[in-house]
Structure 1
Amino acid sequence: MRLAVTTFATDLTTPIPELAREVEARGFSGLYLPEHTHIPVSRRTPPAAGQQTLPEDYSRTLDPLVALSFAAAVTSRITLGTGILLAAQRDPIVTAKAIATLDHLSGGRVSLGVGFGWNVEEIENHGVPFADRRAVGREHVLAMRALWERDEAGFDGAHVAFEPSWSWPKPVGRVPIYLGGAAGPGLFAQIAEYADGWMPFGGKGVGKALPALAEACAERGRPIASVIPFGSYPDPGKLEYFASLGIEEVILHVPADRDVRATLDDYARYL
């Protein structure tokens, strides 16, 4: 089972080139970075993780695609991942170009964890009604996939429309897309329709949810989607349990407020 890492990368944490080198040197499989475009000061939405006050990291988060380009430049092997990219908040044509460029320059190392967001005001500031974020995110992903996979690609949806167009470079191969979110029929139906897998936060309850995911995929006539638990803290029992479920990769959380090298050294014993 492969072990990758994620951390809240900001302008105050370990510089990305240094972090990426340390991750690759220890044998981890990838580096995944989160996204928040901005955090409105109003703070109408309570923190998703239940904190009293939203940590400052959220408002200082680096753009993941720009940051991963710096990681790509100093590494040769690790996966360059998002965990997660807020697809509904991004222009799909511009984002498709950025992702394809990163994949092209890195030799095909990009993997996308995609989510729909929890911060109501952040999403609404992008002109997307909170209730529509999943539908908008879906069309943005489908539009990007069309631009990556066809020489002439157009899209005509309820939320995205553009005429047949050329857009190069193309990704080296198929860019895998994993949808983040809580287990449920809505999410699993979307995964079965257009994603490569599920990226559950932490991994709690994954075993109980797998039959429902398998059923949703079977209804679409496809094998069960891959599962990559995201943001887990490692211990031998948990990792053995994930392995027993057939999970092939786990993304471990590296706290940004601790010594990154020491944490990576600690986690490396599980490799």
Structure 2
Amino acid sequence: MSTFARAATIDVMDNIGVFLPTGQDQWAAHDPRDLIGFARRSEELGFSSLFVNDSLLSPRIEPLTMLAAIAPVTERIRLGTGALLPVLRRPVLAAQTLASVDQLSGGRLTVTVGAGFPGRFGRPLHELSQVPWERRFARLDETVALWRALWSGAKEFHGEFHSFAELPPATRPFHEQGPPVWLGGGTPAALARIGRHYDGWLPYPPDPADYATGLDTVRSAARGAGRSPEAVTPALFVNVRIDRSAEDARRVMDAYTRANYGLPLAGTEQIQAFAVGTPDEVAAKLARYTSAGARHLVARLGALELSDQREQLERLAALTLPSSP
């Protein structure tokens, strides 16, 4: 059990979640079924959500399989993808799978989607999936629209990339409206699309000021589309490492980013959001994002091994949650 106390510089958070360490390197020295215990402990501690990553470029437990495994052994905690890559799956089958996970969880699913990035984290996924890289954002939006059509019981669907004169009877989600669908991204085009079409925003901007500016753009786009700005959940994907010294925290997080991205921490900090250091330092950085408007933080814990992931989980709970057991 961690002895790290909650920092005085941070308010208790109602919505803070964590990523499950589903990458094979993190659980290889253990039984992968230990991830189920990690999920249950996250719920016991009071975290509000558990998210999973998606990729074909590194060995990991497939995300929807992981969520299906933990759905029946948890009761309250929300289950999410961050981000699911629809390009890896045929859209009708993906809609059925997502609805099934939502049913098994009793309506606790949140689906964050992404379209990939240029370079080695984007094009190779499209090549492996035999889907064109061009117009990937339009394809993503249409895929989500197809999911929603299936979930609502539509009989047909006609789009630029997918057209069905007759749709099969589909597995319905737990709630009639289906699971909320979030999107990441920070480009002007992505922010406008989020405001118009999506239920939440899960970016990882390294500067909290950019988060505030992006959220203003999302809300403006929502108003322009006739939606309430509050219809879009403002979330944040943030990498977290808590240690007794900033030096120790940065050393371990540097090893983590090199293992995951082949980049040092100093380089990855230019791309993604990080809160790394002592409890007070981490709390201060998280508070800057909540002050910028973030209302649901999802922390990816900077630890290369499952036992260290568990320790970081306890430390984050002690830092941010009101009364973690």
Q: TM-score, normalised by structure 1?
A: 0.85
| Distance in 2 separating the partners of 1:134 and 1:7 | 27
1:15-66 residue CA offsets vs partner (Å, 9 max, x unmatched): 3211211111111011100101x23xxxxxxxxxxxxxxxxxxx11221000
5+ long unaligned stretches in structure 2 = 1-13, 241-274, 276-281
Aligned residue identity for 2:112: G
Aligned mate of 1:179, from 173, 183, 190: 183
Partner residue, 1:236: 283
**Can you list the C-alpha shifts for 1:144-177, whole angstroms capped at 9, x where unaligned?**
0111122x33211111112332434311123111
Matches within 5 A, 1:1-271: 1-12=14-25, 13=27, 15-36=34-55, 38-39=56-57, 59-118=58-117, 119-150=122-153, 152-173=154-175, 174-181=178-185, 183-201=186-204, 204=207, 205-224=210-229, 225-233=232-240, 234=275, 235-258=282-305, 259-269=308-318, 270-271=320-321
Q: 1:100 to 1:24 in 2, by over 3 A?
A: same
Q: 1:142–1:194: 8 Å Cα contact kept in structure 2?
A: no
What SS does the aligned partner of 1:5 have? Answer: strand
* Counterpart secondary structure, 1:60: coil
Decide whether the 8 Å contact of 1:7 with 1:256 is kept in 2: no
Change over 3 Å in CA distance of 1:2–1:159 after alignment to 2: same
Q: Secondary structure at the match of 1:229?
A: strand
Residue 255 of structure 1: CA displacement? 2.9
Alpha-carbon distance, 1:8 to partner: 4.0
How many residues of Structure 1 are paired with residues of Structure 2 in the alignment?
249
CA distance in 2, matches of 1:248, 1:32: 16
- Report the secondary structure of 1:130's partner residue: coil
Identity %: 31
Question: Per-residue deviation at 1:11?
Answer: 3.6
- CA displacement, residues 59-110 of structure 1 (integer Å, 9 cap, x when unaligned): 1122100011111121111111101100233211000000101111110010
Deviation at 1:126, TM superposition (A): 1.5
Task: Return the structure number with greater helix share.
Answer: 2
In structure 1, how many angstroms separate the alpha carbons of the residues matched to 2:17 and 2:90? 28
Letter in 1 for 2:301: V
Alpha-carbon distance, 1:10 to partner? 2.7
Give the root-mean-square deviation of aligned CA atoms. Answer: 1.8
Structure 2: how far apart are the matches of 1:256 and 1:140? 34
Q: 2 CA distance for matches of 1:217 and 1:232?
A: 28
Question: 1:103-142 deviations in whole A, cap 9, x for unaligned?
Answer: 1111001001110012212212222222221111111111
**For residues 93 and 121 of structure 1, do their structure 2 counterparts lie closer, same or farther at Cα, with a shift above 3 Å needed?**
same
Secondary structure, in 3 states, of the residue corresponding to 2:134? Answer: helix
Tell me how far 1:254 sits from its aligned partner: 1.5
> TM-score, normalised on structure 2?
0.72
Distance in 2 between residues matched to 1:135 and 1:189, nearest whole Å: 13
Counterpart residue type for residue 63 of structure 1:
E
Shift of 1:256: 4.6
Distance in 1, matches of 2:70 and 2:205, equals: 24
For each residue in 1:163-219, what CA deviation from the matched residue of structure 2 results, as whole angstroms up to 9, or x when unmatched?
3324343111231111011x2221022212321121102563201222222221121
Q: Which has the larger radius of gyration?
A: 2
Structure 1 CA distance, aligned partners of 2:23 and 2:90? 23
